[in-house]
Structure 1
Amino acid sequence: MLGNGHFWGYYPGKWWSWLWIRILLLPVKVEGRENLDPKQSYVFVANHQGAFDIFLIYGFLGRNFKWMMKKGIGKIPLIGTACKYAHHIFVDKSGPSKIRATYDQARSILKEGMSLVVFAEGARTFTGHMGVFRRGAFMLADDLQLPVVPLTINGSFDVKPRMKDKYWIFWHPLKLTIHKPIAPIGKGPENVKNQMDKSYAAVMSAISPEYQGFVENPDQ
């Protein structure tokens, strides 16, 4: 509210995430930054292993970006207001006009190298394995004709498993793999399916062996 939302919506989160990762002595490895063009906007799609995914992406992706998040987050006191003024994108699926307004907002924000990050499963895993990918991020990428960059997160589930009886943080290395961009091959359902299928395969290919394979997520 007091300044540039593109600055305050990214850098404090980046510094905060980097600091906590270092305080907890969690080793981080990042592969694939050379795959990115600093002047190009992207839609980044990642698997969602746990709470530390946010620390890893904010602190170590190395790109200013906006989150694509559920509309309900905007109703959370303080957090919702902060996300609004940081220009993060709330997805409203209540009707065609609302969906179009979401795309129009994204189009106005994702320019001059600004990018978007989406957890394509829409929910955190209970087992460390991947669920299905939802189409929303890929439909947005198709509408805006942007390349999709798959991100594979490893280690976050081991640091903070999503289990009701687990309140501790465990030491475990973290790894972020930035895959090569998947360019549009046109516009429409074929392009959406192509980017979604290739993204899923890329993310799955770099997941640790013990979490390979699909496991149904009841939250999806």
Structure 2
Amino acid sequence: MKIFQWIYTLYAALLFIILMLIFGLFIVIPLLLSSRGGKISFVFIRLWSSVWSFLVGIRYQVHGREHIDPNQPYIYIFNHRSFIDAPVIPMAIHQEVRAIGKKELSKIPVFGFIVSRVAVWVDRKDADSRKESVEKLLKILEKGISIVVAPEGTRNNSGQALLPFQKGAFRIASETGIPIMPMAVIGADRVMKRGSILMRPGVIDIYFSSAIETTTYSGEEGHIRLADKCFNRLEAMILTHE
């Protein structure tokens, strides 16, 4: 069976690159022409993700989208278990968003150039880089654009539902009053198993809950309490639906 998985994985990777080259200009040009071009760009990002997913046999089932107010910016938090989480974001969230990404990804030819327009790169080992990324995220939220954060800080290769949360996103939330929207991604690690680059077709379920208000959490203690509340909510969503 491994040989078929290798063939499928190579097919999926090649198709991803071809579609990236086809849709790349349509994603980048609106953002280069206008700061308001993000909505147009995200139409093509979703088109890229949906065409690729359809052709490789990955389906998405979204639950709880009624909790999302399309006119309200959110800080989306999700559990990060697989590299396949990237296309999940535009397929699940029908808002213009910006995501945090590892700086290393920006060095990938073509892909890094395209995604740089809709991502904030950060070197998590560099304090200055982390501070700069927070400042960029604050400016994005001020424009009414949502952001997407994996608060575990890295891909979860453990057997636990979640790794301990880093506090940056929750400081931003409490300082801005932007509500947090938990998003549980179930099944991505079956499409691409942890610790493997091999893929297989499958179904990914995405669950949203009601938003978590952040205006009453202030100071360092408030950031910790908010992070704990979000951790408990997201963990319960994962354990309920796995």
State how far apart, in whole Å, the 1-side matches of 2:195 and 2:30 are: 39
Seen in structure 2, the aligned counterparts of structure 1 residues 104 and 125 have a Cα distance that, compared at 3 Å, is closer
Where does residue 145 of structure 2 map in the other structure? Answer: 114
8 Å Cα contact 2:122/2:133 also seen in 1: yes
Q: TM-score, normalised by structure 1?
A: 0.80
Identity of aligned residues (%): 24
Seen in structure 2, the aligned counterparts of structure 1 residues 55 and 87 have a Cα distance that, compared at 3 Å, is closer
Stretches of structure 2 lacking an aligned partner (at least 5 in a row): 1-27, 32-36
Query: 1:117 deviation in Å?
Result: 0.5
Where does residue 144 of structure 1 map in the other structure? Answer: 176
Seen in structure 2, the aligned counterparts of structure 1 residues 131 and 53 have a Cα distance that, compared at 3 Å, is same
Stretches of structure 1 lacking an aligned partner (at least 5 in a row): 212-220
Query: 1:92 deviation in Å?
Result: 5.4
1:189-208 aligned at under 5 Å gives the runs 189-208=220-239
Where does residue 102 of structure 2 map in the other structure? Answer: 70
- Which of 44, 55, 71 is 1:39 aligned to? 71
Query: 1:153 deviation in Å?
Result: 0.5
Q: CA RMSD in A?
A: 2.6
- Which of 75, 81, 98 is 1:49 aligned to? 81
Query: 1:48 deviation in Å?
Result: 0.6
SS in 2 for 1:121: coil
Query: 1:121 deviation in Å?
Result: 1.2
Query: 1:105 deviation in Å?
Result: 2.0
State how far apart, in whole Å, the 1-side matches of 2:39 and 2:76 are: 19
Seen in structure 2, the aligned counterparts of structure 1 residues 99 and 157 have a Cα distance that, compared at 3 Å, is closer
Where does residue 3 of structure 1 map in the other structure? Answer: 30
Query: 1:29 deviation in Å?
Result: 1.6
Where does residue 158 of structure 1 map in the other structure? Answer: 190
Bigger drift between 29-38 and 2-11 goes to 2-11
8 Å Cα contact 2:138/2:172 also seen in 1: no
Seen in structure 2, the aligned counterparts of structure 1 residues 128 and 61 have a Cα distance that, compared at 3 Å, is farther
SS in 2 for 1:149: strand
8 Å Cα contact 2:217/2:225 also seen in 1: no
SS in 2 for 1:44: strand
Counterpart residue type for residue 210 of structure 2: K
Counterpart residue type for residue 74 of structure 1: S
Q: TM-score, normalised by structure 2?
A: 0.74
- Which of 194, 200, 203 is 1:173 aligned to? 203
Seen in structure 2, the aligned counterparts of structure 1 residues 9 and 70 have a Cα distance that, compared at 3 Å, is farther
> Which is greater in Rg?
2
Give yes or no for the alignment of 1:15 onto 2:8: no
